Amino acid sequence: MFDSLGSKLQDILDRLKKDSKLTEVQVKAAMREIRMALLEADVNFGVAKDFVAKVSEKALGQEVISGVNAGQMVVKIVHDELVETLGGKTQQPLLEGDRNVWFMVGLQGAGKTTSAGKLAMLYKSKGRRVLLVAADTQRPAARDQLEVLGGQVGVPVLKVMDGETPATTRQRVAEFLQKDFRDLVIVDTAGRLQIDIPLMDQLAALKAALEPTETLLVVDAMTGQEALSVAETFESRIGLSGLILTKMDGDARGGAALSARFVTGKPIYFAGVSEKLSGLETFYPDRLAGRILGMGDILSLVERAQAAQMDTAAPKKPGEFSLEDLLNQLRNMRKMGPLGDIMKMIPGMSKMIPQDFQVDEKQIQRIDAMLSSMTLQERRDPKVINGSRRKRIARGAGVTVQDINKLLKMYDQMKDMMKMFGQMGGGKGGAAKGALGRLMGRR
């Protein structure tokens, strides 16, 4: 989502980092470029103006202009201000005692029902006993969808009937909880394609009856500036405690994410990063700021590895890396999400990868097929792969012998890159960069 904005900000700041001392003219010119980059990324005008004003005020201080590492200090100022704009400290919904009711609101299509299922899965894994309430009486399909998600997660779903009053819903929830104790109730409410008075009246009545401890607005990050007006309306009519931004893995320009906290004054609790039930992450302003500025996000990378139950250990002997190791590491990384996203979490990797570079997931599947067609002996000792073995491997994988030759030829160049991924660390190098481009393809 932030590829374009991140690239522009990094270019601007890289020019400043080269200078040990900065003039006021240099700083003001850089701030104009930063403001333009933010506006092009669909950041709210007021947010962009306020951001640049705060950065300028600090960057024009005498310590920065005449400092020994003035350029680096400006980078730190921009990073810190990005963190503040995104919300400062990480915040999460409150969980107190045995009664926790979370009220999910948002427009139709924002990902409300899916987010409810994701929350159920996340908090069930933390030991909470979750009940899902399908209260979207506008769309029977949404209630059925939540019932399916509840079955996948392994939590019960209480479906609100057509024409049911808020008082009746409250009573049915209370009766359910008396029979089957639950300490977290997540309510998926009705949505519309656009905000209207009947929708708001219905939500207000249901909220008054259920008395939720948290009211979470689900916002589609792909809708840009429109998402902010939606958030403001829900806040004024219903009252919100926090936000969930969905589709953060999309190709939107990122303006909604950078503006939502500033415009609504409400913290962003979670970010939806994929369509999978596991694709919901705690929103960390500092980590996202680091990603935008090309500083990587090792903590999130390690957490994804742990969630996928990855074995991140390097080969047993230093410098030893077989095709068997390559196959295991490729499969491990694919569990963590799109490889392009994973690569950007590694500090410095954004500088190695050309802006137009994209991981070809189909090519990754072809490599998996080629490696799987090899015997264990061949993967552990590629030297035994002669001409006849190459033909057999190619037939088994549905590729040509030339494809097998290409994979084996790149094998040595790929070692450094794959060990870098396996160890979750450094390992930059020209050979790895070249292999990366040829292996995964550029479009």
The predicted pLDDT at position 314 comes to 43
The predicted pLDDT at position 406 comes to 87
Q: Do 273 and 287 form a contact (C-beta atoms < 8 A)?
A: no
pLDDT tens-digit series, residues 334-377: 666 666 666 665 555 555 555 555 556 677 888 889 999 999 99
pLDDT tens-digit series, residues 51-99: 899 988 888 876 676 665 777 788 888 888 888 888 888 899 999 888 9
Q: What is the mean pLDDT of residues 215-242?
A: 85
Q: Is 0.75 surpassed by the pTM of this model?
A: no
Which comes out higher in pLDDT, residue 439 or 295? 295
Point out the least confidently predicted range of 3-7, 48-52, 217-221, 270-274: 3-7
From the number of C-beta atoms within 10 Å of its C-beta (0-12, 13-18, 19+), residue 164 rates as: middle
Tokens of residue 116, six digits:
């409810």
The predicted pLDDT at position 26 comes to 84
Residues 6+ apart with CB under 8 A from 62: none
CA dist list (Å): 8 to 89, 232, 295: 25, 29, 14
Q: What is the mean pLDDT of residues 424-433?
A: 42
Q: Which residue has the tokens 């980078």?
A: 75
The predicted pLDDT at position 138 comes to 82
* Measured distance CA(106)–CA(100) in Å, rounded: 20
pLDDT tens-digit series, residues 372-415: 999 999 988 888 999 999 999 999 999 999 999 888 887 766 66
What count of other Cβ atoms lies within 10 Å of the Cβ of residue 404?
Answer: 21
Residue 420 has pLDDT above 80, yes or no: no
In sequence order, what DSSP letters do the residues of 318-381 get, joined into one string?
TT---HHHHHHHHHHHHHTS-HHHHHHTSTTHHHHS-TTB---HHHHHHHHHHHHTS-HHHHH-
In sequence order, what DSSP letters do the residues of 9-23 get, joined into one string?
HHHHHHHHHT-SS--
Domains (ranges, CATH) in the chain? 3-86 (1.20.120.140), 101-292 (3.40.50.300), 323-440 (1.10.260.30)
pLDDT tens-digit series, residues 295-326: 654 455 555 555 555 444 444 444 567 888 77
CA dist list (Å): 59 to 22, 86, 128, 285, 289: 9, 20, 46, 21, 18
The predicted pLDDT at position 429 comes to 41
Q: Which residue has the tokens 């939502």?
A: 260
pLDDT tens-digit series, residues 141-157: 889 999 999 999 999 99
